[in-house]
Amino acid sequence: MVLQQKSPVIVMLTQCNERRRVKCDHYWPFTDEPVMYGDISVEMLSENESPEWIIRKFRLGYADETQDVLHLNYTSWPDHGVPTVNAIESILQFVHIVRQQANRSKDPIIVHCSAGVGRTGTFMALDRLMQHIREHEFVDILGMVSEMRSHRLSMVQTEEQYVFIHQCVLLMWQKKKQQSITSDIIYENASKT
């Protein structure tokens, strides 16, 4: 799928194992040695770890074609849950990083968790809302989630995830307001007498 769609970015919102259960296959090499999956090779080019996420760069190969892919793995999001309230800043920073990378290409990005609806739906909602808030003074979270669910059932799986979206949007509004206030300051007393 990555090669077919020429997806430059994969966003992974799970760990491979959570609470002693397999949530996702480890589909990249553990070392810098390429691994073969049928006719497709996957080579790890780099891996940078921070407290809440890991950024990896892969090179996929098939026949005579190669494609570099950025793999952004948020590791602090529990299944069926949400990051802690203290991590709202972190998840919004992660969403921003993903959006910056996605804007570099017109090709689609891939977003996945374990089931593809809870964390994935919440992440997609945050990404859409972050873009919307930049240009508008209102949001319709319920309407947007309903629209997402018309394309894929159960997007934003739990009440806790829905509330988390609201908490994140509140912080987005506060940041937008703060930026507006600081950008409105045009005079400054430059001399102290």
Which of 16, 24, 113, 168 is an active site residue?
Answer: 113
Does residue 180 surpass a pLDDT of 90?
A: no
Question: What is the pLDDT at residue 19?
Answer: 86
Structure tokens at 81: 């849950």
SS3 164: helix
Does residue 43 surpass a pLDDT of 70?
A: yes
Residues 31-45 have a mean pLDDT of 95
Question: What is the pLDDT at residue 147?
Answer: 98
166, 84, 87, 90: which is closest to 122 by C-alpha? 166
Residue 185 pLDDT grade (very low, low, confident, very high; cuts 50, 70, 90): low
What kind of fold does domain 8-182 have according to CATH? Protein-Tyrosine Phosphatase; Chain A (3.90.190)
pLDDT single digits (tens) 74-97: 999 988 789 988 899 999 999 999
- Could you confirm whether 16 is annotated as catalytic? no
Residue 22, burial from CB neighbour count under 10 angstroms (0-12, 13-18, 19+): exposed
- Quote the CA–CA distance of 159 and 141 in Å, as a whole number: 13
Question: What is the pLDDT at residue 184?
Answer: 62
Residue ranges of domains in the chain: 8-182
Q: How do strand 53-62 and strand 40-49 relate by DSSP bridges? A: antiparallel
Residues 169-191 have a mean pLDDT of 80
Determine which helix (DSSP H) or strand (DSSP E) holds 112, and give its type and residue range: strand 110-112
Question: What is the pLDDT at residue 188?
Answer: 63
